[in-house]
Amino acid sequence: MTLNTAATDKALVAIVPAAGVGKRMLSACPKQYLQLDGLTILEHTVNRLLSVADIQHVVIAISPQDGYFNDTGLAGHPDVTTVFGGKERVDSVLAGLKAIDSSRYPWVLVHDAARPCVPGQDINALINRCRESGDGGLLAYPVRDTMKRGDASDQVLETVEREALWHALTPQMYPAAELKAAIEKALEDNIQITDESSAMEYVNRTSILVAGSSENLKITRPDDLAMAEFILLRQQANG
């Protein structure tokens, strides 16, 4: 299915991989459907993306076994399309890319469903930097702590130089056709891809690191939920 939504030259489409099961969350339902302040995490995330002026459409990759999406306010939303995701996050992102007409949407942002607190100003900063440079890029934030590498028995193996070390966040923004080709090449060569930037690295394309807020956490483990709720409510209070 290819989107035929007419698009202005500034129009962007976002892909939201939301087909995971959230094993580490230990929750009764996939974590993207847990409630935060009356809405599912997925709804918060998609609303954040659609609040960005240049993002015209969102393609959400949901599990073929998803039994929750149709109960959200996103079902039937005119600016939302769903596709079936795959075994890994990268497969879900690729499914989303296959649903996009890159002649209408030359650039795409990919953003985790599990990151509902991403500030709109960070997304706009990423969009602007990529447009200015013509290169793709990602939101990230610099490592603050001393970093250790451990062995299988949790003994310290080494202290990792943290200078110029960043946490990769999302959205990550790239030319849609190039990103699709890079992911397909990496998968064909059995390269493990955990984010869009690593696929672009594999085909020797550069990426810009755009400093973003640490509020943009990925809800992964049970204690992340309370932190996300605190951040969300603080953002709402600050307008």
Ligand X SMILES: C[C@](O)(CO)[C@H](O)COP(=O)(O)O
Ligand Y SMILES: Nc1ccn([C@@H]2O[C@H](COP(=O)(O)OP(=O)(O)OP(=O)(O)O)[C@@H](O)[C@H]2O)c(=O)n1
Q: Footprint of ligand Y on this chain (CB under 6 A)?
A: 17-24, 32, 61, 85-89, 92, 112-114, 218, 220
113 binds, options ligand X, ligand Y, none, Cβ within 5 to 8 A by partner type = ligand Y
Peptide bond into 171 cis (omega under 30): yes
Distance from C-alpha of 229 to C-alpha of 223, rounded to nearest angstrom: 11
Helix (H, G, I), strand (E, B) or coil at 40: strand
DSSP label at 63? Answer: -
State the first-to-last Cα distance of the chain, in angstroms, to the nearest integer: 38
Q: 83, 38, 79: which is closest to 60 by C-alpha?
A: 83
Question: Could you say which of 51, 70, 194, 214 contacts ligand X (CB under 6 A)?
Answer: 194
Q: How far is the CB of 38 from ligand X (least distance, A)?
A: 25
The binding track of 167-186 with respect to ligand X, each residue x by CB under 6 A or -, is -x-x----------------
Residue pointed to by tokens 């996300």: 228
- Should residue 206 be labelled a site residue for ligand X when binding is judged by CB under 6 A? no
Q: How far is the CB of 31 from ligand Y (least distance, A)?
A: 6
Between 104 and 138, CB nearer to ligand X = 138
Interface contacts to ligand X, rule CB under 6 A = 89, 112, 168, 170, 194-195, 218
